[in-house]
């Protein structure tokens, strides 16, 4: 089963200075943090803020190619989580039907934002992301509010930025 989600925002991990993409379900009950690259975060942030450049950036170019070829992005799915790596599929529709294309979630979401395609996350991915593994503590669990409070109290506003929709 898949759950529809939306981009809730982008935050910077103050410890690693890595961008984190935050997805939330439509009822805003479930969150999924995905650590992403700086270039992809910039692409997502510029789309969230509706910043336009005189020349197309990579995800804009991909959208332009899809438009030119009469291809629509039907949906994207964050489909798997293996070894702390998320996997996604972009479902493209053309005259012959729908084809899934393997993608990184950050690229898939950057394209989904530009094409107004819905974002879905496999419920198994949501369950896996909430479990502790050998290297990460499950700080995103609801009942771990003390660790959240400690993390947030130690943040410097300069290290923490958020782009809200």
Angle at CA 21, nearest 5°, toward 101 and 149? 150
Secondary structure (3-state) at 120: strand
Domains in the chain, please, with CATH?
2-159 (3.10.690.10)
Give residue 106's pLDDT: 97
Q: Which pLDDT band holds residue 11 (cuts at 50, 70, 90)?
A: very high
Report d(CA 57, CA 54) in Å as an integer: 9
Q: What is the pLDDT of residues 69-126, one digit of tens each?
A: 999 999 999 999 999 899 999 999 999 999 999 999 999 999 999 999 999 999 999 9
**What pLDDT digit, counting tens, does each position of 126-164 carry?**
999 887 333 344 344 445 455 555 555 555 555 444 444
Pinpoint the alpha helices (H) of the chain: 38-48, 58-68, 105-115, 123-130, 145-153
Q: What is the pLDDT of residue 154?
A: 58
Task: Tell me what the mean pLDDT of segment 27-49 comes to.
Answer: 93
Confidence band for 4, pLDDT divided at 50, 70 and 90: very high
């Amino acid at each position: 089963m898949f759950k529809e989600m939306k981009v809730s925002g982008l935050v910077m991990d103050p410890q690693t200075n890595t961008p984190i993409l935050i997805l939330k379900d439509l009822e805003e009950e479930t969150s999924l943090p995905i650590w992403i690259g700086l270039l992809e975060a910039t692409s997502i942030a510029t789309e969230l803020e509706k910043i336009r450049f005189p020349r197309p950036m990579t995800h804009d170019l991909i959208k332009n190619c899809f438009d030119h070829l009469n291809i629509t992005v039907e949906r994207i799915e964050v489909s798997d989580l293996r070894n702390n790596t998320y996997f996604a599929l972009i479902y493209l529709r053309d005259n012959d039907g729908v084809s899934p294309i393997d993608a990184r979630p950050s690229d898939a979401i950057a394209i989904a934002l530009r094409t107004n395609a819905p974002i879905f996350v496999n419920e198994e991915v949501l369950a896996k992301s909430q479990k502790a593994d050998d290297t990460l503590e499950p700080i995103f669990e609801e009942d771990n509010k003390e660790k959240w409070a400690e993390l947030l109290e130690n943040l410097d506003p300069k290290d923490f930025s958020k782009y809200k929709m």
